[in-house]
A and B are shown apart, each in its own frame.
Chain A
Amino acid sequence: MSKTLNRRDFIKTTSATTIGVATIVSGITLTTFANANKMPVTNEKRWGMLIDTNKLTEADIDGMVSACQQEQGWGSELHSTGNQKPGWIKKLKVRDKATGKISNLALMCQHCEQPPCVDVCPTNASMKRKDGIVLVDRHLCIGCRYCMMACPYDARSFVHETLSNQKEHMPRGKGTVEACTMCVHKVDKGEAPACVASVNSDAVIFGDLYDASSKINQTLKTIQSAQIRADLNLNTGVRYSGI
Chain B
Amino acid sequence: MSNIRFEQIEGKSLGFYTLVAGLGILVLAALGSVYYMEHHGHFVTGMSNRIVWGVPHVFALFLIVAASGALNVASISSVFNKKLYKPLSRLSGLVALSLLAGGLMVLVLDLGRPDRLIVAMTEYNFKSIFAWNIILYNGFFVVVAVYLWMMFERRMNKFSHTAGLVAFSWRLILTTGTGSIFGFLVARQAYDAVIMAPMFIIMSFAFGLAFFILILMASYQWTNRPLGDVVVNRLSNLLGVFVAAVMYFVAVYHLGNLYLAENTGVENFILFDGGIYTKLFWYGQIILGGLIPMALIYHPATKGNRSMLGLASVLIIIGGFIQLYVIIIGGQAYPMALFPGKEILEGYGGVAQYSASLPEISLGIGGIALAIIAVTFLVKFLAFLPESLADDVADPHYKG
A-side residues, CB < 8 A to B, are 77, 79-87, 90-98, 102, 107, 116, 119-125, 140-146, 148-154, 156-162, 174-177, 228-229, 231-232, 243
Contacts of A146 in B (CB 8 A): 128, 130, 181
How far does the Cβ of A1 sit from chain B's closest Cβ, in whole Å?
Answer: 12
Chain A residue nearest to B54 (CB atoms) is A145
- 8 closest A-B pairs (Cβ-Cβ)? A143-B112, A175-B112, A152-B187, A83-B48, A92-B347, A161-B41, A122-B130, A93-B346
Cα distance A71–B82 when bound, in Å?
A: 67
Chain A contacts for B129, CB-based, 8 A: 120
Contacts A83-B49, A94-B342, A145-B52 given; indicate if A151 touches B187 (C-beta within 8 A): yes
Which residues of B sit under 8 angstroms from A119, Cβ to Cβ? 127-128, 184
- Cβ–Cβ < 8 Å partners of A148 in chain B: 49, 52
Contact between chains at B43 and A143 (CB < 8 Å)? no
B343 touches A95 (CB 8 A): yes
The answer to whether B42 has its CB under 8 Å from any CB of chain A is yes
B184 in complex: contacting residue of A87, A93, A94, A120, CB < 8 Å = A120
Which of A87, A107, A141, A144 lies in contact with B130, CB distance below 8 A? A144
Contact B38–A90 (Cβ < 8 Å): no
Considering the complex, give the chain A residue whose CB is closest to the CB of B346. A93
List chain B positions with a Cβ less than 8 A from chain A.
38, 40-43, 47-53, 111-114, 116-117, 119-120, 123-125, 127-131, 134, 181, 184-188, 332, 336-348, 352-353
Question: Smallest Cβ distance from B85 to chain A, in angstroms?
Answer: 36
CA distance A135 to B168 in the complex (A): 39
Chain B nearest CB from A207 CB (Å) reads: 25
Name which of B41, B119, B129, B332 has the most chain A CB atoms within 10 A of its CB.
Answer: B41
Contact A87 B49 (CB under 8 A): yes
Interface centre among A79, A119, A150 (most CB of B within 10 A): A150
A72 to chain B, nearest CB (A): 16
How far is B185's CA from A152's CA once the two chains are assembled, in angstroms? 8
User: Chain B contact residues: over half helix, strand or loop, or mixed?
Assistant: loop
Min CB distance A122 to B, Å, is 4
Q: Please state if B112 and A145 are interface contacts (CB–CB under 8 Å).
A: yes
A26 to nearest B CB, angstroms?
Answer: 27
The verdict on A94 contacting B112 (CB below 8 Å), with A81-B43, A87-B49, A150-B185 known, is no
Is A91's CB under 8 angstroms from B111's CB?
A: no
Bound form: Cα–Cα A232–B189 in Å = 12
Q: Chain A residues near B127 (CB, 8 Å)?
A: 119-120
CB contacts (< 8 Å) of B337 on chain A: these are: 229
**What CA separation (Å) do A62 and B269 show in the bound complex?**
33
Known contacts A96-B341, A142-B119; is-contact A175 B187 (Cβ 8 Å): no
Partner of A175, one of B42, B119, B130, B340: B42
A selection of 29 A-B contacts at a CB cut-off of 8 Å is A84-B42, A84-B47, A94-B343, A96-B341, A116-B186, A116-B187, A121-B128, A121-B130, A122-B124, A122-B128, A123-B119, A123-B124, A140-B119, A143-B111, A144-B111, A144-B112, A149-B332, A150-B186, A151-B187, A152-B186, A152-B338, A153-B187, A156-B49, A157-B49, A158-B42, A158-B49, A159-B112, A174-B41, A175-B112
